[in-house]
Amino acid sequence: MPELFHFFDEENESIYVARLVWRRRLLLGAHRGRLVVATPRRIAALRGKFYAIED
């Protein structure tokens, strides 16, 4: 995982720059940064993908 990456927030359908701040095996923590301009087509392509979060 690179230090800087794009994060898709499916709830508000926005893409943000994120910075990796910690990693523990397969878990990671990140700080959300600035909003990235995205086309409706790009948002549609990201919508509905499967993401899992360990409880």
**Model confidence pLDDT, tens digit, residues 14-23:** 999 999 999 9
Structure confidence by residue, pLDDT tens digits, 25-51: 888 999 999 999 989 998 888 888 766
Q: Which pair of structure tokens corresponds to residue 55? A: 């409880």
What DSSP line would sit under 4-42, residue for residue?
EEEEEETTTTEEEEEEEEEEETTEEEEEEEEEE---HHH
Predicted TM-score of the model (pTM): 0.74
- For residues 7 and 18, the answer to whether their CB atoms sit within 8 Å is yes
Cβ count near 18 (within 10 Å): 20
Q: Please say whether the beta carbons of 23 and 1 come within 8 A.
A: yes
Structure tokens at 39: 């086309």
